[in-house]
């Protein structure tokens, strides 16, 4: 197994850092999958995560100007590593104005992802800061649980409003209730509702727009104003929203009635999918 990659472009480095910060906010521990063309940050829907799953994908050639990898074997040319997300984002913090960033798989008493940052200093000589991030190599037999999740046919698909507003509202709603209902219809309306003995709060987002339906036929006779809804844990939604520091290029929300809500975001060229299941 081998992995070596290098980033020299400042903009690519900053973007990679932002993605890593986002992942650190979304998942404490996650899986990094390295394949010849892509890097994936994966969180699978184990009970420990509360059923939440995440799939983040980036094309390696958009970031790295050097990228070499050799998987476990020729037929399975992939590497699956488990790491603590915060370790990576902390290491990347030192790479803010770096000249170059190198990442490679090493074995220093235990398997590591070594991040070395070449920094410019006042004098013309450069400094190198190295971070050894401990990782766990995930054996081949567990790979099947870490595949790209199948997105079920949504009942409603809608574009999300400004995430900052959503986050402010959900943050306040969290003080009142642990559960939230997210509902949307094909008329561009999305509502967030909480209800306790003391108070009911509903926030209405309008004119959001819906993407064209994939399967026109099944939804033809559906009432456009009919709402599809899911009951979810408010903290999971807040965690997802808190991870979006920058407004995404594209943000879509898919709701499967009473089953789950699926967020499909695009941050420039990096795609993020986040699944929150319904509360049982």
Tell the smallest beta-carbon distance from residue 43 to other proteins (Å).
28
Q: 229: which residues sit within 8 A by CB, 6+ positions away?
A: 181, 182, 183, 255, 257, 258
Q: Which stretch binds other proteins (CB under 8 A): 81-89, 120-128, 159-167, 233-241?
A: 159-167
Q: 48: which residues sit within 8 A by CB, 6+ positions away?
A: none
SS3 call for 244 = coil
| Contact pick of 205, 240, 274, 275 for other proteins (by CB under 8 A) | 205
CB-nearer residue toward other proteins: 63 or 205: 205
- At 246, give phi and psi (nearest 5°): -110, 145
| Contact pick of 65, 97, 202, 249 for other proteins (by CB under 8 A) | 202
Sign of the dihedral defined by the CA atoms of residues 64, 117, 24, 173, in that order: negative
Q: Token pair of 108, please?
A: 């220093």
Question: Does the footprint of other proteins cover residue 169 (CB under 8 A)?
Answer: yes
Q: Token pair of 60, please?
A: 């390696």
CB-nearer residue toward other proteins: 207 or 221: 207
Tell the smallest beta-carbon distance from residue 183 to other proteins (Å).
14
Question: Does the footprint of other proteins cover residue 201 (CB under 8 A)?
Answer: yes
Residues 141, 133: Cα–Cα separation, whole Å: 24
- At 135, give phi and psi (nearest 5°): -135, 165
Tell the smallest beta-carbon distance from residue 159 to other proteins (Å).
14
Q: Which stretch binds other proteins (CB under 8 A): 56-64, 97-105, 158-166, 209-217?
A: 158-166
- Give buried/exposed letters for 131-150 (b at 16+ CB in 10 A, else e): bbbebeebeeeeeeebeeee
Question: Does the footprint of other proteins cover residue 119 (CB under 8 A)?
Answer: no
Question: Does the footprint of other proteins cover residue 178 (CB under 8 A)?
Answer: no
Question: Does the footprint of other proteins cover residue 55 (CB under 8 A)?
Answer: no
Question: Does the footprint of other proteins cover residue 172 (CB under 8 A)?
Answer: yes
Sheet holding 126-134, edge to edge: 66-70, 2-7, 100-108, 110-120, 126-134
Checking DSSP bridges between strand 38-43 and strand 136-137, what pairing results, if any? unpaired
Tokens 């026109």, located at residue: 216
Question: Does the footprint of other proteins cover residue 245 (CB under 8 A)?
Answer: no
CB-nearer residue toward other proteins: 146 or 192: 192
| Contact pick of 35, 60, 203, 257 for other proteins (by CB under 8 A) | 203
- What number of chain residues touch other proteins (CB under 8 A)? 22
| Contact pick of 47, 109, 199, 221 for other proteins (by CB under 8 A) | 199
H helices present in 39-103, as ranges: 85-93
Query: Where in 86-115 is the site for other proteins (CB under 8 A)?
Result: none
Question: Does the footprint of other proteins cover residue 161 (CB under 8 A)?
Answer: yes
| Contact pick of 175, 215, 217, 280 for other proteins (by CB under 8 A) | 175
Question: Does the footprint of other proteins cover residue 242 (CB under 8 A)?
Answer: no
Question: Does the footprint of other proteins cover residue 176 (CB under 8 A)?
Answer: yes
Residues 140, 247: Cα–Cα separation, whole Å: 36
User: Which residue ranges make up the site for other proteins (CB under 8 A)?
Assistant: 161-162, 164-165, 168-169, 171-173, 175-176, 197-207
């Amino acid at each position: 197994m081998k992995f070596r990659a290098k980033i020299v472009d400042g903009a690519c480095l900053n973007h990679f850092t932002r993605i890593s910060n986002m992942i650190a906010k979304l998942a404490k521990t996650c899986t990094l999958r390295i394949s010849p063309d892509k890097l994936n940050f994966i969180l699978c829907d184990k009970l420990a995560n509360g059923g939440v799953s995440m799939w983040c994908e980036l094309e390696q050639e958009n970031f790295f100007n050097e990228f070499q990898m050799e998987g476990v074997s020729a037929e399975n040319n992939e590497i699956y590593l488990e790491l603590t997300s915060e370790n990576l984002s902390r290491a990347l913090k030192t790479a803010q104005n770096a000249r170059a960033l190198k990442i490679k798989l090493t074995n220093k008493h235990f398997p590591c992802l070594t991040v070395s940052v070449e920094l410019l200093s006042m004098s013309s000589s450069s400094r190198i800061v190295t971070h050894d991030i401990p990782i766990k190599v995930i054996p081949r037999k567990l790979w099947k649980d870490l595949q790209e999740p199948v997105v079920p046919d949504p009942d409603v698909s809608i574009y999300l409003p400004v995430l900052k507003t959503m986050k402010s509202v959900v943050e306040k709603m969290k003080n009142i209730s642990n559960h939230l209902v997210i509902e949307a219809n094909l008329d561009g309306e999305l509502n967030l509702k909480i209800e306790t003995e003391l108070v009911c709060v509903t926030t209405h987002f309008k004119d959001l727009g819906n993407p064209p339906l994939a399967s026109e036929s099944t939804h033809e006779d559906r009432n456009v104003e009919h709402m599809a809804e899911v009951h979810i844990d408010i903290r999971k939604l807040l965690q997802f929203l808190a991870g979006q520091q920058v407004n995404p290029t594209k943000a879509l929300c898919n709701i499967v009635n009473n089953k789950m809500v699926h967020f499909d975001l695009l941050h420039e060229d990096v795609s993020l999918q986040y699944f929150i299941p319904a509360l049982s």
